[in-house]
């Protein structure tokens, strides 16, 4: 049995989620509730849950504030939120689980199933730990990202990524040390996720870490040269935006 807490400032949302869990997720036992960061921290201390259903936005703080104050994060977290661009970026970066309001029952069941598997695996607490670690790091290039592989996952720092290449519905990550990994997400997903981390999509097939750009060669679209003597084409449609991003002529 998975012991869960629901932390959400809206009573109606807590009641709806409780009823869904009772009816569709019999493996989950709701052992307590909270309606703020303060009450949520108290409930975690008292009940020591296996799982938190955690609303992102709450009065006098948010989900990340709460997690940052928990001394021992011995639980998994499913974030529950209305669409919030910043919050979803942070959550996706750590490959954490989330549900969008209003909650879809099928999505809830899938999230609970995935979390239940994680609780029994070596990944337990990893997502929450990395999320909190990232929040505390000001230099975005030093933050960590969890990359889903065909046979597991890889945890890397952003500054280890040299560039990414599209492979149909997968993305091939090329790292500064010369290694590469095939990741189970599209390049578009990582283009949106890494944009604020100094990455830029120069072509339909390539997303580069601008930290490692060494040279640009003019042409219709031109070419960029990265560390490790990597040369990649820039599409004509992306040239102007790249120049703007680099603040050059």
What pLDDT was estimated at residue 220? 93
Between CA 248 and CA 126 the distance in angstroms is 41
Catalogue all structural domains in the chain, each as residue range(s) with its CATH number: 2-135 (3.40.50.2300), 142-246 (2.40.50.1020)
CA distance linking residue 236 with residue 41, whole number of Å: 53
The tokens describing 16, both together, are: 């709806």
Low-confidence residues in the chain, pLDDT < 70: 122, 248-249
- Biggest CA–CA distance in the chain, Å, is 64
The tokens for 71 are 């001394």
For 71-83, write each residue's pLDDT tens digit.
888 899 999 988 7
Q: Can you give the pLDDT at residue 122?
A: 67
d(CA 140, CA 159): 9
Give the model's pLDDT for residue 84: 74
How much is the pLDDT for 249?
43
Decide: pTM greater than 0.85: yes
Rounded alpha-carbon distances, angstroms, from residue 25 to 51, 104, 113, 133: 13, 13, 9, 31
pLDDT at 248: 54
């Amino acid at each position: 049995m998975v012991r869960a807490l629901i932390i959400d400032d809206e009573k109606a949302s807590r009641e709806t989620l409780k009823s869904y869990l009772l009816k569709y997720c019999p493996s989950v036992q709701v052992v307590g509730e909270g309606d703020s960061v303060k009450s949520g921290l108290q409930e975690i201390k008292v009940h020591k849950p296996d799982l938190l259903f955690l609303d992102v936005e709450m009065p006098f703080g948010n989900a990340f504030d709460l997690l940052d104050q928990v001394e021992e994060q011995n639980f998994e977290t499913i974030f529950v939120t209305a669409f919030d661009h910043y919050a979803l970026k942070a959550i996706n970066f750590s490959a954490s689980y989330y549900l969008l309001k209003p909650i879809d029952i099928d999505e809830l069941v899938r999230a609970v199933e995935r979390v239940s598997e994680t609780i029994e695996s070596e990944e337990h607490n990893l997502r929450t730990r990395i999320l909190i670690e990232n929040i505390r790091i000001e230099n975005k290039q030093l933050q960590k990202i969890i990359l889903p592989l065909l046979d597991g996952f890889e945890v890397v720092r952003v500054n280890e990524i040299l560039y990414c290449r599209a492979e149909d519905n997968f993305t091939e990550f090329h790292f500064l040390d010369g290694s590469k990994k095939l990741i189970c997400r599209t390049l578009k997903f990582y283009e949106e996720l890494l944009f604020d981390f100094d990455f830029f999509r120069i072509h339909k097939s390539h997303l580069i870490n601008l930290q490692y750009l060494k040279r640009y060669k003019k042409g219709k679209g031109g070419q960029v040269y990265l560390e490790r003597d990597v040369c990649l084409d820039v599409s004509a449609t992306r040239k102007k935006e790249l120049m703007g991003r680099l603040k050059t002529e």
